[in-house]
Amino acid sequence: MNYKAIIGIFVGTVVLIGGLIWLGQPGANTSSGQTNKNPAADSLKIEETNFDFGTVSMANGKVNHTFKITNTGSEPVTMSKLFTSCMCTTASLMVGNDKFGPFGMQGHGFIPSIKGVIQPNQEANVEVVFDPNAHGPAGVGKIQRVVTLENNAGGPVEFNFSAMVTP
């Protein structure tokens, strides 16, 4: 076999594999005009995704903040998992009279599925509790943390908060 034939076979193989990968992507073959979009997608209204506690003294202990969520869609939305970015933070989901949590950081204890359902036009709350003492004296200074809420209405929702921790 000559050099040009080997290169031709190689290029053909790469193009064939690339084409198969492209066709295998979700939504790549939509010639029927149908989409697989979740009817609950884009139905969560989040009042705020960022909160600054300002200056937080370790001497005063834990602080908390509540983030509000409303299902503005016509389908129920299921909250599947809630977790934090640091062990110094816990988060709970409240939907009606049901409370799920508190949950902490993934990888530092089991984070179960929660199956909390927010009905159309229903409001839910994510309560975040930050403990400035969790890191001890080394935890002084500016902090930034994230609470993640996974759901079936599209991508996960991230609630961010910050604080300036003082002794």
- Residue 144 amino acid letter: Q
Domain map of the chain by residue range? Answer: 1-28, 44-166
- Look at residue 106 in the predicted model and tell me its pLDDT: 87
The answer for residues whose C-beta is within 8 angstroms of residue 27's C-beta and 6 or more apart is: 35, 36
- Residue 18 amino acid letter: G
- Domain boundaries 44-166, corresponding CATH code: 2.60.40.10
Which token pair is 158? Answer: 């991230």
The answer for residues whose C-beta is within 8 angstroms of residue 33's C-beta and 6 or more apart is: none
pTM for this entry: 0.74
- Averages of pLDDT over runs of 10 residues in the chain (167 residues) are 73 65 52 47 87 96 97 95 96 96 86 91 97 93 96 92 96
- Look at residue 52 in the predicted model and tell me its pLDDT: 98
